[in-house]
Amino acid sequence: MADISGLDAIVLGLVQGLTEFLPVSSSAHLRIVGDLLGGDPGAAFTAITQLGTETAVLLYFRRDIKRIVLAWWHAVRGGYGTDLRSRLGAPVGERADHDALMAWFIALGSVPIVVLGVALQSSIETAFRNLWLVVLTLAGFALVLGWADKVGRRARPLEELTARDAVQFGLWQALALIPGVSRSGGTITGGLLMGYTREAAARYSFLLAIPAVFGSGLYQLFGSLGDFGTAGTPGFGPTLLATIVAFFVGYLVIIAFLKIVSTFSYRPFVWYRLGLAALVVLLLLTGAVHATPAAS
């Protein structure tokens, strides 16, 4: 999809902003809509536009992030004591600093997606973008999300997060390397199965995504600087426009989504995913979209 117009960029930015934080998979939507517009925009385009939506996360959670960073630094520099537990934010005989621990939990939870992202990079950019695989992940994880929302206790607040749970959240997030799973959908599903409330799982999903998405997006950005506009690659201007649109739309979606999950179930998203999977099958069978990117 080398020739991407300004209108195409706006459409893709809207799609990214609308779907990044919902448990419906933004990468799957970009893959599908991109093909309808003329071709798969590619994994690099997807990763770079996600910088826009993650910047929206930084803006929305700026107070939380500032508090977490300051608490982490206070613990690391010995504010609670010089022993290891104190520097981690959990001094012996005193109440643990949840914010300091949260910084470590985010780092710990980011390890799985970093390791698997590097190990599977070739597949992420090729085989994982097959739309038949996307159909399976959209439908399969719709059922998993619906089941988790039904059986999850939804009782644990984010303050009860442990190192073990942080790793499990990270493993669920890593499943989003396959388009159709959804980064937020994976972590929220895992959180529900571990007994966390919908809002706690959603908030941690946002925070956990920051290192992974910025790392992936910046890596793809600097790795693509010399390739923008070449055969099979969207130009820098349209990519930037899509990223800016994704930022503004994504910020509004964060506000709405956190209000929705504190009141309603995830059932509408389950049905949406199943409906989208059925639609993609129809598009594939009629030749409206192609299972594999044209460039491959």
**Residue type present at position 216:** S
The Cβ of residue 186 has, within 10 Å, a number of other Cβ atoms equal to: 27
Task: Assess whether pLDDT exceeds 50 at residue 247.
Answer: yes
| DSSP track, 193-235 | HTTB-HHHHHHHHHHHHHHHHHHHHHHHHHHHTTTTTSTTS--
pLDDT at residue number 3: 64
| Residue 296 located in a structural domain | no
Distance separating alpha carbons of residues 216 and 234, to the nearest angstrom: 18
Contact 235, 229 (CB under 8 A): yes
Longest distance between any two alpha carbons in the chain, whole Å: 66
The residue among 153, 157, 191 whose CA lies nearest residue 172 is 191
Q: What is the pLDDT of residue 145?
A: 94
38 pLDDT band, cuts 50/70/90, is confident
Residue 282 has pLDDT above 90, yes or no: yes
Decide if 98 is inside a domain. yes
The predicted pLDDT at position 215 comes to 84
- For 75-134, write each residue's pLDDT tens digit: 999 999 989 899 899 887 788 899 999 999 999 999 999 899 888 888 877 788 899 999
How large is the average pLDDT for residues 187-204?
93
- Asked if residue 52 belongs to a domain, the reply is yes
Mean pLDDT confidence for 180-189: 91
pLDDT reported for residue 249: 96
Burial class (CB in 10 A: 0-12, 13-18, 19+), 64: middle
pLDDT band at 252 (very low <50, low <70, confident <90, very high): very high
Indicate if the pLDDT at residue 72 is higher than 90.
Answer: yes
For residue 10, tell me if it sits in a domain: yes
* Residue 34 covered by a domain: yes
The mean pLDDT of 42-56, rounded to a whole number, is 85
**Scanning the structure block, which residue is given the tokens 């960029």?**
9
- Residue 232's pLDDT band (cuts 50, 70, 90): low
For the chain, percent of residues with pLDDT exceeding 70: 94
pLDDT at 229: 59
Q: Which tokens is 231 given?
A: 């055969």
Q: Which tokens belong to 39?
A: 């071709």
Assess if residue 45 is contained within a domain. yes
156 phi/psi in degrees, rounded to 5: -85, 125
The pLDDT score that the predictor gives to residue 294 is 59
pLDDT for 227: 61
Q: Which is higher by pLDDT, 249 or 41?
A: 249
Q: In what helix (H) or strand (E) does residue 128 lie, and over which residues does it extend? A: none
The verdict on residue 221 lying in a domain is yes
Q: Work out the mean pLDDT of the chain and round it to a whole number.
A: 88
Say yes or no to pLDDT of 226 above 70: no
Q: Please count the structural domains in the chain.
A: 1
Confidence of residue 141 (pLDDT cuts 50, 70, 90): very high
**What's the rounded Cα separation, in Å, for the pair 120 and 246?**
26
Q: Is the pLDDT of residue 244 over 50?
A: yes
Average pLDDT over residues 151-163: 90
Distance CA 234, CA 214 (A): 20
Mean pLDDT of 170-184: 91
What pLDDT is attached to residue 106?
A: 95
Indicate the SS3 state at residue 196.
strand
* Residue 274, domain extent: 6-286
1 inside domain: no
For a pLDDT cut of 90, what percent of the chain falls above it?
Answer: 55
3-class DSSP state for residue 78? coil
